[in-house]
Structure 1
Amino acid sequence: MLKDMQDWPLLVSKILEHAELNHSYQEIFSKLPEGGEFRYSMADMAKRARQAAQAFQTLGVKEGDRVGTLAWNTHRHVEIWYAASGMGAVTHTINPRLFPEQLVYIMNHAEDKILCVDVTFVPLVQAIEAELKTVEKFIVMVGKDHMPEGLGDNWISYEEILMAESGEYAWPDLDENTPCGLCYTSGTTGNPKGVQYTHRSNFLHTLIAISGDTLGITAKSVILPVVPMFHANAWGIPYAACATGCKMVLNGPHFEPDVLHDIIIREDVNVTAAVPTVWTGMLQYLKDTGKDMGKLTTVTIGGSAAPRSMIEEFQENYGVRVNHAWGMTEMSPLGSIGSENAAVANLSKKEKLDVQCKQGRTVLGVEMKIVDDEGNSLPRDGKTSGNLLVRGPWVVDTYYRADTRAVDNDGWFDTGDVACIDEYGYMQITDRSKDVIKSGGEWVSSIDLENAAVAHPDVVEAAVIGRYHPKWEERPLLILKMHEGKTVTLEEMHEFLLQHVIKWWLPDGIEFVDELPHTATGKISKKDLRDQFKDYKFPGT
């Protein structure tokens, strides 16, 4: 077929080359797991990535091999990310918060050839080392002076293998459909599933991530991706930062509010991204200390819904815009973003906040629809809820090493979320399909109830699950983690919730816990709560 335009391959290495050529001066700041801080330029990072690629070749890594990483967000992790992908191997980011048996399953299923490990995770890997069938070398991401003692011959220092290479390396001209990244789901049901990204899918995802209406990153931004690189590619930010040439600030193993706040102020961070639990702690820290957020203007929150009270507090008290983002590991991960469009800009303050509490409008490249249980499309009226389906060039087609496709015959992927879409195109998750509470034939949104409950000033975290009821089949049970020394009765909570939800949604029971269980990606684990309260009986039944 004739063509008039050049067939320029969309490769991850092109993003790095662009950064080195056009933003060589830009700074990357990193908190180190072994202690201390590190600064260098994008040009430095690009050279060290080439050295890492050479070192991996010396260790026998070939095109298509998996290079595993068990690491925090640091400059070394970014180097390895680009090095493995750029040379034609696959960067396999692994979530260290998974259970050891899940880690063993994932690394064996992926057949990782080498494993790059932050020094904090060396004991974790040592405990499972004998069960890892394919890993030939363990690379500790430190210099020789910080190498732990007593490691075997197959454990080597990252800085040492880099020093042995020149960096005189040319990135290969790969097919853009070559695999370059691998990330596994958290495996809440059955074994974790692998999602393998291609150079093309990651490049296209980056083009959307850097648009003004998505993550809001420009060449003048200073971005802090608190969301880890092992959590759905840190939402694509390490690619986006190099694509725009913005300063990238990496927090390493530090998620404490005081440390994050110090970094934000000291490094002039103006854009950041993380899950809601990070910002719950930050808001409490700000209240306790009376401090502000410096130059921070935009917080992108994903992973789970941010409570309305959190959005209001950030904006009213600290002048920080909160944008919801929604996506999945299976979507690379961006699917929608809560930035304001022209129609919403003309709404009242309350109406704007109503829209802002939704998960946002679809980004270009992702198609989205809601359907009923028979697969019929449902209207975009902001009221009708249905099963949320997506498709697009960075949405999974087939899980890694799976026998069947993950999509239907038309390419639609069932997200497992229940949602509605309004007339402006803003989507709102109303529940997970397995978390929907059906009471007397009507749906109760556990997410809306949770967001309403956590707005109570004495509540730290809230979760809602459905439990058996002899009359209504299911009713909501509210489970709360309270601020120290605080409590609330069911009646008092009902009175508070009636300001936010309809009466028949009110929970029939309330329970208090010291801590709510969380999944490896930081979400509240409803599965664990359902197990914990499986024999629960509502008062009076």
Structure 2
Amino acid sequence: MRALMQDRPLDISSLSRRVEQLFAHKRVVTGTVDGEVTATWRDVVDRSRRLAAALDEIQVPRHARVGTFGWNSQRHVELYLAVPGSGRVLHTLNHRLFADELAYIVTDAADDVLFVDRSLIPVVWPLMDRLRTVRHVVVMDDGGPAPLPDDPRILDYETLIDRRVDGVPTAAVDESDAASLCYTSGTTGRPKGVLYSHRSIVLHALLLLGVDNFAISERDVVLPIVPMFHVNAWGLPYAAMLAGSDLVLPGPAMSPQALAGQLARHRVTFAAGVPAIWRALLPLVDRAELAALRMVVSGGSPVPDTLARSWYERTGVPITSSWGMTETSPLVACSRIATVHDGLDPDAEVALLGTPGPPVPLTELRLVDEAGERVGHDATTPGELQVAGPTVASGYFGAGAGTDAFTDDGWLRTGDVATIDRYGYVRIVDRTKDLVKSGGEWISSVLLENEIMAYPGVVEAAVIGVPDDRWGERPLACVVTTGGARVDVADLRSHLAGRVASWWIPDQVWQLPAIPKTATGKFAKSVLRDQFARRGQSD
């Protein structure tokens, strides 16, 4: 027997209708190179309709991929609505990638049109001869000084949407239709395309409103510092539409000073970014007015204990850790203080919030050992973390299809090694490829890095395994210090004694001016391994 309920699709056009009908007066603020621009949600939805009509005019086919090279801005939000709402697929591109990677991704996606912030034209235009499927480049003038090429493929965003459009219907879409496309960071081979559905995006946005997750509400002022090219800014623009929140966007003004100014000036209540952002903002928080701030979320890489403690001591707001992947929309787990943790002292609470926490609703987790057997959730036994749920990918788009990242029974192999306790709280131990196996025993680079960063003067630490004749592998600590001060290796080793097992303590410490990072801000350990190998060959 089938239920007698209305069969209405969970699609992105429902978000634009809701925010226009109920929250048209609320603000969308965008930072620019010389100030800020403020619009209302009514303005954003109206302009997105005109943009959808413009896509028809320049004959962008249904289901075509529409690429974006943009900062976090009002125009990017308009693309978030217009492209999937009109039956096309939004493809957000990370302009920080290398040219070869960008050319590969645009070609693999077969993007039909690119929307590019003017300040990013120098990144995109040199690639055009390699982007055979791209018919037009629509320039969004963000005040950048880059000269525009004299080429008929160049179109102006504002000219394109400068028309009155009354009651343009959105395309009829099925909730399982593709809505947006993001590519993985390519840390293990070529970047792979993750194709989100309208349904998965709406469900993910709803999850962010949950009181035990991000608890985003109409009273919030949301600042997504995480880039809009990175997994749809973790779904925050869509969540803000559902809740009716004010949305504050940095635009190209991404300096710590500019971000601190936005946090204070707009009385931001919720902000999300990666640990590097919170580390850069830390010296400024004493002088910024942050009384309105209720929640700071961090993701992308583990939050060092020293950063978490310093942030809480200076602001009174703990950093709440989250965990996810491009393949998971991305939120899978979000930390919180549950009733079983009542009575923890403040330091213990800060430490707990620095771990990924339990899974969000609708998402299931399991641990599997090297033999493929399930691992118990006892908080100590590690296993590969696998994920399933309606906001989790079932395969890859384009050339990435056919990988072994998915199990026979449909779970995503995350490549992370973790433990889970009886209440579902996850602790990431390492990436499977980053574990160090010394003398047949595993060493967690993540846990070791955290203890190294607790040593005075160490700003960043990355641990990699290097060949060793006796033990097979030994951990090498790559460190960056404040002001480049020299590390006393013997003292650092003494600091680690008692904090980690004796055989975890690195024999070598390699001091660097900076640790190489991926385009999404994670430690590029493959680069470190290559650098160490070249260093060994030259010795």
**TM-score, structure 1 normalization:** 0.95
TM-superposition CA deviations, 1:35-60 (whole Å, max 9, x none): 43110111111101101100111010
Aligned-partner residue type, residue 2 of structure 2: L
Measured in 1, the distance between the counterparts of 2:314 and 2:59 equals 54
Correspondence for 1:330 = 327
Measured in 2, the distance between the counterparts of 1:262 and 1:308 equals 26
2:73 touches 2:250 (CA, 8 Å); kept in 1?
yes
Q: How does 1:358-377 map to 2 (within 5 A)?
A: 358-377=355-374
Tell whether 2:436 aligns with 1:445.
no
Correspondence for 1:8 = 8
Aligned-partner residue type, residue 358 of structure 2: R
Correspondence for 2:353 = 356
Aligned-partner residue type, residue 30 of structure 1: T
State the shift of 1:455 in Å. Answer: 2.3
Q: How does 1:167-178 map to 2 (within 5 A)?
A: 167-178=166-177
Measured in 2, the distance between the counterparts of 1:261 and 1:321 equals 17
Q: Residue 443 of structure 1 aligns to a residue in which SS?
A: strand
Identity of aligned residues (%): 39
Tell whether 2:306 aligns with 1:297.
no
Q: Residue 54 of structure 1 aligns to a residue in which SS?
A: helix
State the shift of 1:476 in Å. Answer: 1.0
Once the two structures are overlaid, the 10-residue window that deviates more, 328-337 or 494-503, is 494-503
Correspondence for 1:155 = 154
Q: Residue 183 of structure 1 aligns to a residue in which SS?
A: strand
Q: How does 1:36-55 map to 2 (within 5 A)?
A: 36-55=35-54
**CA spacing shift, 1:180–1:459, aligned 2, 3 Å:** same
State the shift of 1:320 in Å. Answer: 1.1
**CA spacing shift, 1:254–1:377, aligned 2, 3 Å:** same
**CA spacing shift, 1:424–1:144, aligned 2, 3 Å:** closer
Measured in 2, the distance between the counterparts of 1:306 and 1:97 equals 22
Once the two structures are overlaid, the 10-residue window that deviates more, 292-301 or 526-535, is 292-301
**CA spacing shift, 1:167–1:268, aligned 2, 3 Å:** farther
State the shift of 1:16 in Å. Answer: 1.3
2:117 touches 2:139 (CA, 8 Å); kept in 1?
yes
2:260 touches 2:288 (CA, 8 Å); kept in 1?
no
State the shift of 1:150 in Å. Answer: 3.5
Measured in 1, the distance between the counterparts of 2:25 and 2:227 equals 25
Tell whether 2:235 aligns with 1:230.
no
2:121 touches 2:146 (CA, 8 Å); kept in 1?
no
Tell whether 2:87 aligns with 1:88.
yes
Correspondence for 1:23 = 23
Ranges in structure 1 where 5+ consecutive residues have no aligned partner: none
Aligned-partner residue type, residue 22 of structure 2: N
Aligned-partner residue type, residue 418 of structure 2: A
Q: How does 1:17-166 map to 2 (within 5 A)?
A: 17-32=17-32, 35-142=34-141, 148-166=147-165
State the shift of 1:292 in Å. Answer: 5.4
Q: Residue 230 of structure 1 aligns to a residue in which SS?
A: coil
Once the two structures are overlaid, the 10-residue window that deviates more, 360-369 or 138-147, is 138-147
Measured in 1, the distance between the counterparts of 2:252 and 2:166 equals 28
Q: Residue 391 of structure 2 aligns to a residue in which SS?
A: coil
Tell whether 2:192 aligns with 1:187.
no
Correspondence for 1:218 = 217
| Count of equivalent residues | 534
**CA spacing shift, 1:217–1:507, aligned 2, 3 Å:** same
Correspondence for 2:470 = 471
1:221 touches 1:246 (CA, 8 Å); kept in 2?
yes
Over aligned residue pairs, what C-alpha RMSD do you find?
Answer: 1.8
Measured in 2, the distance between the counterparts of 1:26 and 1:220 equals 10
Q: Residue 218 of structure 1 aligns to a residue in which SS?
A: coil
**CA spacing shift, 1:36–1:64, aligned 2, 3 Å:** same
Ranges in structure 2 where 5+ consecutive residues have no aligned partner: none
Correspondence for 1:396 = 393
Q: Residue 56 of structure 2 aligns to a residue in which SS?
A: helix
Correspondence for 1:429 = 428
2:116 touches 2:138 (CA, 8 Å); kept in 1?
yes
Aligned-partner residue type, residue 90 of structure 1: V
Measured in 2, the distance between the counterparts of 1:536 and 1:492 equals 25
Aligned-partner residue type, residue 280 of structure 2: G
Correspondence for 1:268 = 267
2:367 touches 2:374 (CA, 8 Å); kept in 1?
yes
2:97 touches 2:519 (CA, 8 Å); kept in 1?
yes
State the shift of 1:172 in Å. Answer: 2.4
State the shift of 1:347 in Å. Answer: 3.1
Correspondence for 2:456 = 457
Aligned-partner residue type, residue 362 of structure 2: G
2:179 touches 2:196 (CA, 8 Å); kept in 1?
yes
